[in-house]
Amino acid sequence: MTVIQNTNGHGELSREARTTNKVVPEKEEQLVLNTIRCLAADLCQQYKGGHPGTVMGASAIGVALWRYEMRYNPLNPEWFNRDRFVLSAGHACLFQYIFLHLSGYEAWTLDQIKMYHSPATSGSMAAGHPEIEYPGIEVTTGPLGQGISNAVGMAIASKQLAATYNREGLDIVDNKIWCFTGDGCLQEGVGQEAISLAGHLGLDNLILVYDNNAVTVDGRIDNCFTENTSKKLEAQGWNVIDVYDGSNDLAAILEGLDKAKHFKGKPSLVNIRTVIGYSSRKANTGPAHGQALGDDEVAYVKIQLEFDPAVKFVIPDKAYEYFAECKIKGARANEEWDKKFEAYSKAFPDLYKQLINRMNGTFAPDGWETLLPAKKDLPQGEQPTRKSSGIVVQTLVPKNNTFVAGSADLLESTFVNFNGQVEFQNPASGLGDYTGRQIRFGIREFAMVGLGNGIAAYHKGMFIPIMSTFFMFWIYAAPAARMAALQQLRFIGIATHDSIGIGEDGPTHQPIALAAFYRALPNINLIRPADAEECMGMWLLALSEQSANTPSIFALSRQPVPLLSGTDRAKVAQGAYVVYGDDKNPDITIIATGAEVARAIESAKLLKSVKKVRVVSMPSQKHFDNQTAEYKESVLKSSVALVIAIEAWASYGWARYAHASLSMHTFGHSAPQQQLYEHFGFSPKAMAEKIDEWAAKWQTKGGRPGLGDFEELLLGYTQH
């Protein structure tokens, strides 16, 4: 652990401790810091909301990062080898917006950042938390803690690319990942999961900058958090640097960040003590965290910092001049890299071509679709859909560097392990190296998907993360999956053991209602295939151009299912299609998904009340919703037929497609899967009897079910 002590009242360092271009005249430095503090106070007060305290307390950290330590090009925000800055403490987005403006990002004008917390619903980039689509914003970190996992994912991406493509004298990828975090992020479980894995992997390209102000919304954190963060992270395999007086001592901050940047073998924590709301009478209190200071307090701050209280949004020319070097340095670094990349293209043309294709998001190899086995070549007996999905993993992943595949401790159970692949591990461990594309995330489901988001966001289209665990555990990962959908980041989520079919593990592990959540989320595809053929279609759909901006989650069975004669991989993209029965005017349409499709077909064969019946497989509600009204009617025939849905999940959502359902309405139970399907009424015989009874009721009653008539037909079946 390195402790940087104040060497005098200002914490000045010797010339040997920092390069000449980091020596800043004290008066100019103070003007810049005071400008940022007053600007933050004004911006929050303008619309009576926001988070001024972090900006005011951590302004010296921002100066150290943007003016001196980080490598980026404001004139080319997408420069490939730039450092990545991740704001895990997303509520402090004003901190990032101000420095993007001062350092010269053209889109981030003063007028733009003045829209922070404005009532505008369009035209503003200054959202209340940073959003990935705007220049200089690398990832939408969202709720606290996830940004740490995103940063770890980006560090993994950078390490993997460097190990794969760098050659002696031509380091094409050698950037750093800077993650700005606060007290709240370090209390969140996802942050701790990610920190633990980063330490294990020895990601020395990752620097966690901790704004340690010891205050959250409810006040001082010692009311609920008394850990020694520095010692804790040191025990987790991190290099730790402690800095004091982080609100003023720019020299000490620079020394700490510089040491972290050059440290080898471990990720670094720079623990910087700051004063939230610095220069305000609300400093070191909860109200400084997330409230506008108030007109009187803003005036007080300005007087303390020698600014005119009557004038708002002031940025003196000297402050702009102070940051003018950022564009010059960035353009120079970008130009030097361009020359290096040109030399690389001549020395290693094949690697260069591969890297360019990946930068452009080109999915290789050409004709990859034909590598998947045809239906006639699939296993003709029964097998779980999790195993059928594994056929694609084994076929495609080894041939395509775009994929990184890993699991939360369930590689074999979820069939995402692929033969002969090096694991992504710290080379010093002897377990693998950084070229590896097989990742052991450990039992860290939330962090796994947060890391996947960081990997996918590193350079969009360059990586497709495959992440797996049991479907029930995707409830742990749900907040990160939601953030992927919001950011339009593609990942493949493998969710096996998807129903009561998990059997003896019991109700704690049997997902009943989770599908309803994922189906309700915008821009995420939950796909539940009926058999091996639909598994091929599921992968084709998830890897197609139409899914380039969409995460997909595959709900896969533990239990074996037959290969059905009516399934068709090409029709999976339509969301639903007829797999049994071809009558043009059916009396009953049965919709089913996943492992229940085969049971639905057997049930249809046993019906006595009607002769004209069809069975529809609906692997994806979202994709069916995107079809034309004509196509939907051609499949469901709901204008003439009674429609019933069969699914061993909760019925929530099925009223949009069906008049009734055979579904779960309780938690599951512990027993072998075959007994459970019978216990809860999903045997073909029991389902046929229920459907006959329901159809006969409507034949006697006359007419057809209307709004509010949706029925759950298995209410008589209970958990015990």
Residues contacting residue 62 through CB under 8 Å, at least 6 positions apart: 36, 55, 95, 98, 99
At residue 96, what is the residue type? Q
Strands (E), 134-238: 177-181, 206-212, 215-216, 219-220
List the structure tokens of 241: 């640097």
Binding residue per annotation — 332?
A: no
* Tokens representing residue 640 in the block: 């003439």
Is there a binding annotation on residue 213? yes
Q: Is 547 exposed, middle or buried (0-12, 13-18, 19+ CB in 10 A)?
A: middle
Q: Rounded to a whole number, what is the largest CA-CA distance in the chain? A: 95
Tell me the DSSP string of 316-354: -HHHHHHHTHHHHHHHHHHHHHHHHHHHHHHH-HHHHHH
Catalytic status, residue 630: no
| Residue among 667, 660, 684 nearest 598 (CA) | 684
Contact 496, 413 (CB under 8 A): yes
51 is in an annotated binding site: yes
143 labeled part of a ligand binding site: yes
How far are the Cα atoms of 145, 207, 243, 400, 410 from residue 257, in angstroms, in the given order? 21, 8, 10, 37, 38
Query: Which residue, among 237, 234, 278, 273, has the nearest Cα to 253 in the 3D structure?
Result: 273
Residue 211 assigned ligand-binding role: no
130 is known to lie in a ligand binding site: no
Question: Is 676 annotated as belonging to a binding site?
Answer: no
Q: With residue 37 as reference, give the H or E element that holds it.
A: helix 26-46
Task: Please indicate if the annotation marks 529 as binding a ligand.
Answer: no
The answer to whether 504 touches 476, Cβ cutoff 8 Å, is no
Instruction: Confirm or deny that 262 is annotated as ligand binding.
Output: no
Go through the chain and tell me how many residues it has: 720
Q: Could you give the count of Cα atoms lying within 13 Å of 361 in the half-sphere of its Cβ?
A: 14
Strand-strand pairing, 577-580 and 613-617: antiparallel
Selected catalytic residue, list 131, 138, 445, 596: 445
- Cβ contacts of residue 14 below 8 Å, gap of 6+? none
- d(CA 437, CA 452) in angstroms, rounded, equals 12
220 belongs to an annotated ligand binding site: no
644 near 661, Cβ under 8 Å?
yes
Nearest CA to 196 out of 260, 273, 267 is that of 267
Of 244, 236, 262, which Cα lies nearest the Cα of 3? Answer: 244
CA distance 615 to 598: 10
Which residues does residue 271 pair with via DSSP β-bridges, in sequence order? 210, 242
Beta-bridge partners for 178 = 85, 207
- Distance (Å, rounded) from C-alpha 643 to C-alpha 639? 10
- 669 known ligand binder: no
Q: Is 709 annotated as a binding residue?
A: no
Rounded distance, CA 1 to CA 235, Å? 11
The response to whether 100 counts as a known ligand-binding position is no
Is 183 among the annotated ligand-binding positions?
yes
Position 52, amino acid: P
> What amino acid is encoded at 678 in this protein?
E
Residue 215 among known ligand-binding residues:
yes
Contact present, 508 and 533 (Cβ < 8 Å): no
Residues annotated as catalytic (active site), given as ranges: 445
Q: Which residues define the annotated binding site?
A: 51, 91, 142-144, 183-184, 213, 215, 289, 386, 413, 473, 497, 505, 509, 558
Binding residues for Mg(2+): 183, 213, 215
**Binding-site residue positions for thiamine diphosphate:** 91, 142-144, 184, 213, 289, 473
Known binding positions for substrate: 51, 289, 386, 413, 497, 505, 509, 558
